[in-house]
Amino acid sequence: MTDDKKPTLRREPCDPQPDPLRVAGALAPEILLELAARERALRVWSRRVFLGSTIAGTLGCAFGLAACATKGQGAANLNELPLGQWQEPPAPLPRAVVAHSDPAPEQTPASATKTKPVAPKPAAATPTSEAALPWAKPRFLWAKGAPIRAELNPMLPVTCVTVHHDGLEELIWTARTEDVAARMEHYRVGHLGRGWADIGYHLAIDRGGVLWQGRSIRWQGAHVQFHNEGNIGVLVMGNFDLQRPTAAQLVTLKKVLVDLRSTYGIKRGRVYTHKEWQDAQTACPGSNLQPRVEKLRTAIGA
What string of DSSP letters covers 78-91?
Answer: GGGSPPPS----SS
For the stretch 266-284, pLDDT in tens is 999 999 999 999 888 899 9
Q: What is the pLDDT of residue 41?
A: 62
Q: What is the pLDDT of residue 42?
A: 66
Residue 27 vs residue 201, higher pLDDT:
201
For the stretch 152-193, pLDDT in tens is 999 989 999 999 999 999 999 999 999 999 999 999 999 999
pLDDT at 51 over 50: no
pLDDT at 16 over 70: yes
Q: What is the pLDDT of residue 245?
A: 98
Q: Is the pTM of this model over 0.85?
A: no
- Which of the residue ranges 29-38, 45-54, 194-203 would you say has the lowest mean pLDDT? 45-54
Residue 255 vs residue 35, higher pLDDT:
255
Residue 192 vs residue 43, higher pLDDT:
192
Quick one: CA dihedral 42, 47, 53, 55, positive or negative? positive
pLDDT at 1 over 80: no
Q: What is the pLDDT of residue 19?
A: 78
Q: Do residues 44 and 35 touch, judged by C-beta distance below 8 A?
A: no
For the stretch 112-141, pLDDT in tens is 444 454 444 433 334 445 899 999 999 999
pLDDT at 32 over 60: yes
Q: What is the pLDDT of residue 43?
A: 57
pLDDT at 233 over 80: yes
Q: What is the CA radius of gyration of the chain?
A: 20
Q: Residues near 228 by Cβ (< 8 Å), separated by ≥ 6?
A: 15, 86, 220, 221, 222
Beta-sheet strands, E only, within the chain: 160-165, 203-205, 211-213, 231-236, 271-273
Q: What is the pLDDT of residue 20?
A: 77
Q: What is the pLDDT of residue 111?
A: 44
Q: What is the pLDDT of residue 28?
A: 86
Backbone angles phi, psi at 273, to 5 degrees: -100, 165
| Confidence tier at 234 by pLDDT (50, 70, 90) | very high
% of residues, the chain, pLDDT over 70? 67
Compute the distance between CA of residue 133 and CA of residue 127 in angstroms, rounded to an integer. 9
Structural domains of the chain, with CATH: 29-69+127-300 (3.40.80.10)
Burial per residue of 243-256, b for 16 or more beta-carbon CB atoms within 10 angstroms, e otherwise: bebbebbbebbbbb
